[in-house]
Chains A and B, each alone.
Chain A
Amino acid sequence: MPDEPIIDCHVHPDPVDLPEGLIREANRLGVTQLIVASLGRSWDYEPSHEHCVRGNRDTLALVDRYGGMVLGWAYVNPRFEDEAEAEVRWCVEEAGFVGIKLWVSALASESCVGRMIDLSVELRVPVLMHAWHKATGNLPLESTPQMLAGLAQAKPRARIIMAHVGGDWQLGSRAAEGSPLLVDTSGSIVENGMIEETVARLGAHRVLFGSDAAGVDLATALAKITAAEIPHEARRRILYDNVVELLSWRRQAA
């Protein structure tokens, strides 16, 4: 494993706590920080605002419990526009969360999502947003990589991270090519060539390490990056530097 710090930008509790096994694995593998988003205590694609708030309080408890090892994403359903904005402001300004997590409750092309992106620019925090292009069919409000690319082009000052390289990573990285989208490598897809090709298309400065633990095995997700045939400097960026740069955006403002 790399003898340098590693930040995993895409982690979920299960569903309230981080499994002890995940913390031990992070320590074993040298993953020094986990950025965690609770999606709530139950599986809900179109959650109530209260569901999201409860999840964020669970995330805050993890941030408090694990000190600097755990950072938090503020998870909201952007359809509850005013409440979602107030929750994001509280999470970032009062609780020290590092960004906004959006999942599958609104399409990237909707104005309510645009409002969250504008808020992220005002607060100078990144947005981690799910995207997938599924041959099996997307959920009704599950954004595609093309939608996220369009959003990123419309909001060029925002720092939007497309999760899972869009799931179908070839399509996702191609969609991201002409936009300012960043991508994370999270998820269960471990195809040979995924990281090398994504870096070749987007540049290492736009690729971030994410695992999607606890649903995905942390060691497996990390091995995608450590085994990739890319220069050391690129690996360094993916595993650490890019996230640090993203998080410094808000600190620079302060």
Chain B
Amino acid sequence: MRLDVCAWCGTWPFHGVPHSDVDGLLHLMDRAAIDGALVAPLDAVFDRDCRGPNARLARALATRGDRMAFCAMANPRYPGWQETVRIADEDWGAVAVRVIPTYHGYRTDDQSLVELAEVLAERQLPLIVTTRLLDERSHPPAFRVPPAAMEGVNALRARVPRVTLVVSWARVAEIAALDDNVAVDLSGVQGPGGFLESLLEPPGQRRVLLGTGAVLQVPECGLAKLGYHSLSRRQASDVAWGWARELFPRWGPSAG
């Protein structure tokens, strides 16, 4: 089984992205033999008020529950974010809440993120912190966004230990700067060769989850990392679906 915890649907404003809607993502999942995806709305990255993009994506996913789970976006610096989270949870059945601090203009040590984490802990919803969405070298010249800082994530972990915390789209060096009890997905790591082996050392210490970054990235590139010659079957299955099932208990049929 393969569960992708970092998938997106929607509009990317800077260049055309093939297969970027829900049907397109499903096509990519079928092509790559991915059983389930936790999907967030790309439109919410560029709309400070995430409520509308959340609702549109949740509606679009309503008939895809067998393969796709809804991951809401939240911006804790925008008025009404508590209601946005409540709606995502109670009306749309969100499996997790994703934030993208630097695109929404705050740091990972911002007090508002602590408040969001506390609300999510209360609701037993995992928090996914998105480090980036695009290689910084490829940003449009008038829209350069720094990556989220890992120091703030460690501080958040310490301040709200009850929340399930996953860092998404980080590089190897950034993951190395994270406390061991912060889970990570693989969407931001393309090398060096053997990196996954080193991230999983010592065994059981770091929870590493499959994340492809589709539709922005080629999902098969994410899956390719799992085939590394020296991974045990247990290690590969933990990354492919085991940790996802444990960390996202609300994930439905596709998480079987």
Contact = CB atoms under 8 A, between A and B. Distances in A.
Interface in A209-228: 212-224, 226-228
Contacts of B214: 192
A167 B192 CA distance: 17
A189 B138 contact: yes
A194 B215 CA distance: 12
Given A135-B136, A167-B138, A196-B18, A223 B191 contact: no
Contacts of A134: 137
Interface string A184-223: 0000111111101000000000000000111111111111
A140 interface: no
Given A192-B18, A219-B224, A224 B137 contact: no
Interface residues of A, number: 39
A224 B213 CA distance: 13
B224 A222 contact: yes
A81 interface: no
Select the residue from A135, A221, A224 with max chain B CB neighbours within 10 A.
A135
Residue picked from B32, B138, B225, B229, most chain A C-beta under 10 Å: B138
A220 B155 CA distance: 32
B220 A135 contact: no
Interface string A160-179: 00000001101000000000
Contacts of B28: 192
B105 interface: no
Interface in B88-108: none
A28 interface: yes
A14, A193, A226 — most chain B CB neighbours (10 Å): A193
Given A217-B192, A220-B225, A191 B139 contact: no
Interface string B1-41: 00000000000000111110000000010011000000000
A215 B137 contact: no
A192 B137 contact: no
B141 interface: yes
A192 B17 contact: yes
Contacts of B225: 217, 219-220
Nearest to B24: A192
B227 A28 contact: yes
14 contacts: A22-B193, A24-B229, A132-B137, A136-B136, A136-B137, A136-B144, A192-B214, A213-B192, A217-B224, A217-B225, A219-B225, A223-B223, A226-B220, A227-B219
Interface of A: 14, 19, 21-22, 24-25, 28, 132, 134-136, 167-168, 170, 188-194, 196, 212-224, 226-229
Given A192-B19, A217-B195, 7 more contacts: A19-B193, A189-B138, A190-B221, A216-B191, A219-B225, A220-B225, A227-B32
